[in-house]
Amino acid sequence: MCQEACLMLRQQQAASIFLRTIIEDQSLVGIVTFSSAAQSLRPLTLIAGEAAREILVNALPSTASGGTNICAGLAKGFEVLRQDDGNTTGDEIIFLTDGESEVNCLEEVAQSSAVVQTVALGPSPAAVLKTMSEISGGKYFVASESLDSNELVNVFASLTASDGDVTLQTIQLESSGKKTNGNDRLIGIVSVDKTVGNDTTFLVIYENNPPNIMVRSPTGTLYDGSKFKQDTAAKTLSLEIPGTAETGDWEYSLHNTMTSPQSLTMTVTSRAARADVAPITVKAHMSQQSGDGSKPMAVFAEVNQKGVPVTKAEVWATIVSSNGDKEELRLLDNGAGADIQKHDGIYSRYFTNLKDGKHNLKVRVKGQGDKARANRGKSRAMYLPGYVIDGELKLNPPKPTFSGNDPQMDVGNFSRTAIGESFIISLPPGVSLPKFPPCRITDLTAKIEDDQVFLNWTAPGEDLDQGTATAYEIRMSEDFEVIRTNFSDAQLINSSGLPPHEAGSMEGFSFILDNITMNRIRVLFFAIKAEDKHYLKSDVSNIAQVYKIEPLVESEGMNVLTIVLCVTGIIVTISILAGIIIYFKK
What string of DSSP letters covers 251-271?
EEEEE--SSS-EEEEEEEEEE
The answer to whether residue 515 scores a pLDDT higher than 70 is: no
* Within-domain flag for 362: yes
CATH of the domain at 297: 2.60.40.1930
The answer to whether residue 539 scores a pLDDT higher than 90 is: yes
Q: Phi first, then psi: what are they for 282, rounded to 5°?
A: -130, 135
The answer to whether residue 290 scores a pLDDT higher than 70 is: yes
Query: Which pLDDT score, from 0 to 100, does residue 101 have?
Result: 78
Question: Looking at the chain, how many residues does it have?
Answer: 586
Amino acid (one-letter) located at 559: N
For residue 405, what are the CA distances in angstroms to 148, 151, 385, 411?
A: 46, 43, 21, 16
Q: Are residues 421 and 488 in the same domain?
A: no
Q: Are residues 313 and 419 in the same domain?
A: yes
Domain boundary among 160, 193, 211: 160
The answer to whether residue 557 scores a pLDDT higher than 80 is: no
Neighbours of 502 (CB within 10 A): 12
Domain boundary among 135, 160, 185: 160
Give the full edge-to-edge strand order of the sheet including 222-224.
Answer: 185-192, 248-255, 212-216, 222-224
Give the 3-state secondary structure of residue 448: strand
Query: Which pLDDT score, from 0 to 100, does residue 405 have?
Result: 42
* Within-domain flag for 70: yes
* Within-domain flag for 126: yes
The answer to whether residue 577 scores a pLDDT higher than 60 is: no
The contacts of residue 567 (CB under 8 Å, 6+ apart) are: none
The answer to whether residue 353 scores a pLDDT higher than 80 is: yes
* Within-domain flag for 469: yes
Q: Which residue has the higher pLDDT, 173 or 382?
A: 173
- Cβ atoms of 28 and 61 within 8 Å: the answer is no
The contacts of residue 62 (CB under 8 Å, 6+ apart) are: 8, 12, 233
Query: Which pLDDT score, from 0 to 100, does residue 99 have?
Result: 74
- As a whole number, the mean pLDDT across the chain is 86
User: Which whole number is the average pLDDT over 363-377?
Assistant: 77
* Structural domain for 130, as ranges: 1-160
Query: Which pLDDT score, from 0 to 100, does residue 368 have?
Result: 81
Q: Are residues 417 and 490 in the same domain?
A: no
DSSP 8-state symbol, 496: T
Q: Are residues 482 and 412 in the same domain?
A: no
CA angle 502, 508, 510 (to 5 degrees): 145
Q: Are residues 467 and 544 in the same domain?
A: yes
The rounded distance, in Å, linking the Cα atoms of 356 and 436 is: 18
The rounded distance, in Å, linking the Cα atoms of 470 and 531 is: 6
* Within-domain flag for 173: no
The rounded distance, in Å, linking the Cα atoms of 456 and 462 is: 19
User: Which whole number is the average pLDDT over 292-321?
Assistant: 94
User: Which whole number is the average pLDDT over 135-147?
Assistant: 92
Query: Which pLDDT score, from 0 to 100, does residue 567 have?
Result: 41
Query: Which pLDDT score, from 0 to 100, does residue 570 have?
Result: 39
Q: Are residues 481 and 373 in the same domain?
A: no
CATH of the domain at 499: 2.60.40.10
* Within-domain flag for 62: yes
| Predicted confidence band of residue 7 (pLDDT cuts 50, 70, 90) | confident
* Within-domain flag for 414: yes
Query: Which pLDDT score, from 0 to 100, does residue 376 have?
Result: 61
- What total number of domains does the chain contain? 3
The answer to whether residue 369 scores a pLDDT higher than 50 is: yes
Q: Are residues 25 and 138 in the same domain?
A: yes
Query: Which pLDDT score, from 0 to 100, does residue 268 have?
Result: 98
- Alpha helix (H) residue ranges in 61-208: 70-85, 106-112, 128-136, 151-158
- Cβ atoms of 204 and 266 within 8 Å: the answer is yes
Q: Which residue has the higher pLDDT, 256 or 519?
A: 256
The answer to whether residue 52 scores a pLDDT higher than 60 is: yes
- Cβ neighbourhood burial of 310 (10 Å; 0-12, 13-18, 19+): buried
Amino acid (one-letter) located at 578: A
The rounded distance, in Å, linking the Cα atoms of 17 and 45 is: 17
Per residue in 108-137, pLDDT (tens digit) is 999 999 999 999 987 666 778 999 999 999
- Cβ atoms of 280 and 305 within 8 Å: the answer is yes
CATH of the domain at 153: 3.40.50.410
Query: Which pLDDT score, from 0 to 100, does residue 36 have?
Result: 86
Q: Are residues 39 and 103 in the same domain?
A: yes
Domain boundary among 140, 160, 180: 160
Q: Are residues 127 and 33 in the same domain?
A: yes
- Cβ atoms of 511 and 487 within 8 Å: the answer is no
Query: Which pLDDT score, from 0 to 100, does residue 562 have?
Result: 42
User: Which whole number is the average pLDDT over 322-345?
Assistant: 92
Hey, which residues does 358 pair with through a beta bridge?
424
* Within-domain flag for 516: yes
Q: Are residues 4 and 128 in the same domain?
A: yes
Q: Are residues 25 and 117 in the same domain?
A: yes
Query: Which pLDDT score, from 0 to 100, does residue 521 have?
Result: 52
Q: Are residues 295 and 416 in the same domain?
A: yes
- Cβ atoms of 524 and 477 within 8 Å: the answer is yes
- Cβ atoms of 428 and 293 within 8 Å: the answer is yes
Query: Considering only 19-23, 249-253, 336-340, 512-516, which range has the smallest mean pLDDT?
Result: 512-516
- Cβ atoms of 150 and 362 within 8 Å: the answer is no
Give the 3-state secondary structure of residue 360: strand
Query: Which pLDDT score, from 0 to 100, does residue 4 have?
Result: 74
